Amino acid sequence: MDVRVRFAPSPTGLMHMGNARTAFFNWLFARKNNGKFILRIEDTDVERSTDVFTEAITQDLSWLHLNWDEGYDKGGEYGPYRQKDRGALYQKHLNVLKEKGVVYPCYCTPEDLDEMRKNQIAKGQMPRYDSRCRYLKDSQRDQYERENKSFVWRFAVPKSTIVVQDMIRGDVTFDSDRVSDFVLTKSSGSVTFHFAVAVDDACMKISHVIRGEDHLTNTAKHVLLFDALSYERPKFAHMPMILGPDGSKLSKRNGLSSLADYRKQGFLPEAILNYMSFLGWAPQKYEDKEIFSLGELSKYFDVGDIGKSPSMFDFVKLKWVNSKYLSRLDIDHLTTMALPLLRESEFIKDDVSEENFVQVKNIVALVQDQINSLSELPSLCEMYFKDTLTHEDPEVKVVLEERTNKEILLTFKEILKDLEEFSDKNLKETFKMVQKKIGVKGKALYLPIRLALSSKMDGAELYKMIQVLGKKRCIDRINKAILL
RNA sequence: GUCCCCAUCGUCUAGCCUGGCCCAGGACAUCGGGUUUUCAUCCCGAAAACAGGGGUUCGAAUCCCCUUGGGGAUGCCA
């Protein structure tokens, strides 16, 4: 069987981590099995769908390197790939269902339904459509028709036990009594999600439907439709949900939510993918390895290894994974990515000469190992671009005001002043000399100088810091600190 | 409410299917120590979990049931 999977976002909002993982696992499955990955836009909700989001979502996918084989922008044998362009196909299928007599028009108004629901809840029942229009007398139906009353087509759910075979959860059974006669076409004429999904998955020859667990109960409806339309059911796999840090469904409220946010924060797509892959999944032969390349992931990935329980999104761990990727990044590449952020902070001008690029690169190299995301870069680099240290931090001030430390700074400055070349060797020598003269070593020796130069307890390696700052700035800063 | 799904360290997870190798392994975070005359890295170590209760069994994290807890679904949203 040809493996064909799809990612089917609805363009009613930006892509978030949950969507992204669904897309990723589908992509992984396709690549692993030499199948096709299809991008289908589920824009049956004309009210809320916009092309802007379609555009944004496809951009996010591309950014994640999740290339698709068929899609609205690429074409393919089974198009069109936007549901709003598939109206005729849905109509055709509706006619088949009409002929089979498994659908019926429902004339209930939203108000009717609302009232019905309220009554049911009040009685402690599960809210569901009571199928009243299914058994409408012909005379009544004729009258509604004459009145041109608006209606929807509902599917007449047959009494049965519905069994959904899920690759992750095994057989899940539903009693048809729990599934109300659902709407296939809205009064506006457009189709509902359930109808479109079933028709499209069948017609696009989707072999495996891999999606979030929130669709598990919907699957009962979809399966009914496949059967009624005499289509073979695809295989289903419902992945566990990703929860926010507070244990509730991931949303705008619990922190960063859209993928675009993470991109802006300076998370690398490779890191995000690597982190996400371990949400609800672990390789069959788990060997205490945490960092996997895309290639490795698509080799090891297996739907059978996806777990059943939901997982919380751990931002701290994402940062750790990201830092791993960041520190391995080629320095030219990293510097190029840093440029926009540094411009935004007004550390550099819009156009960067080759010479300037090298300078910036030297600075970026100093903080490469310390950042968890690109967004942390500007604040760590600021001291190399601006000469505005004030030593306001009481912790810093106390150290710099200390008598011995002033002597250290003074001695250090005197030697530095006459130093020709700031090589590691020379600097080491310089520190040795200060150590000998003042009789202080280790942290006690390095910290005052570090603070005078950066006003921070931590930072880059001191020799490197001095080298990048250069003689004049080092001396100016030390002078300033001595006067404190 | 009703239905469906789920339940191992704070978090992500390995182990569960095919009971004994598990007084439960790894990673992030936390804490302690070491290397680096500073910083970061790195290394070592500590603390930290089988939700509870019943079964089945010689033996259960692993199988069954109940309870509890969490999530999802109950739309002319997807």
Q: Flag residues 39-78 of A with CB < 7 Å from strand B.
A: 42, 44-45, 48
Assess contact for A304 and A210: CB atoms under 8 A. no
* ipTM for this model: 0.93
Question: Mean pLDDT for chain A?
Answer: 90
How does DSSP assign A334-383, residue by residue?
HHHHHHHHHHHTTSS-SS--HHHHHHHHHHHHHHGGG-SSGGGHHHHHHH
Lowest mean pLDDT among A90-94, A133-137, A232-236: A133-137
What pLDDT, on a 0 to 100 scale, did the predictor assign at position A398?
80
Question: How high is the pLDDT of residue A256?
Answer: 61
Res. A292: pLDDT tops 60: yes
Of A176 and A286, more confident: A176
Quick one: pLDDT at residue A105? Answer: 94
**What pLDDT digit, counting tens, does each position of A458-480 carry?**
888 888 999 998 888 988 898 88
What confidence tier does A251 reach under pLDDT thresholds 50, 70, 90? low
- Greatest Cα-to-Cα distance within chain A, rounded to the nearest angstrom: 109
The mean per-residue pLDDT over the stretch A53-81 comes to 94
Question: Which of A129-138, A233-242, A382-391 tops mean pLDDT?
Answer: A233-242
Distance (Å, whole) CA A117 – CA A111: 10
Rg value, chain A, Cα: 32
In the predicted structure, residue A413 carries a pLDDT above the cut 70: yes
A188 is near strand B: CB distance < 7 Å: yes
Q: Is A148 exposed, middle or buried (0-12, 13-18, 19+ CB in 10 A)?
A: exposed
A259 pLDDT more than 60: yes
What residue type is A95 in one-letter code? N
Please say if the pLDDT value at position A255 is more than 70.
Answer: no
Tell whether the model's pLDDT for residue A1 goes beyond 80: no
Instruction: Provide the pLDDT for residue A253.
Output: 57
Tens digit of pLDDT for each residue in A86-134?
999 999 999 999 999 999 999 999 888 988 888 888 777 778 898 889 9
Instruction: State residue A197's pLDDT score.
Output: 97
Give pLDDT, residue A436: 85
Confidence of residue A254 (pLDDT cuts 50, 70, 90): low
Which residues of A are known to be catalytic?
A: 252
Per-residue flag: A215 CB under 7 A of strand B = yes
CA A60 to CA A410: how far, in whole Å? Answer: 54
User: Any idea which nucleotide's C1' is nearest the CA of A187?
Assistant: B76
Identify which of A269-273, A393-397, A452-456 has the greatest average pLDDT. A269-273
| The pLDDT of residue A434 | 85
What domains, with CATH codes, occur in chain A?
1-72+240-328 (3.40.50.620), 86-239 (3.40.50.620), 332-482 (1.10.10.350)
Q: Which residue gives the smallest C-alpha to C1' distance to B1? A: A124
Residues in chain A: 484
Cis bond upstream, residue A80 (ω within 30) = yes
Rounded average pLDDT over A48-74: 95
Q: Is the CB of A469 under 7 A from strand B?
A: no
What average pLDDT does the segment A382-388 reach? Answer: 85
Measured CA A321 to C1' B28 distance, in angstroms: 9
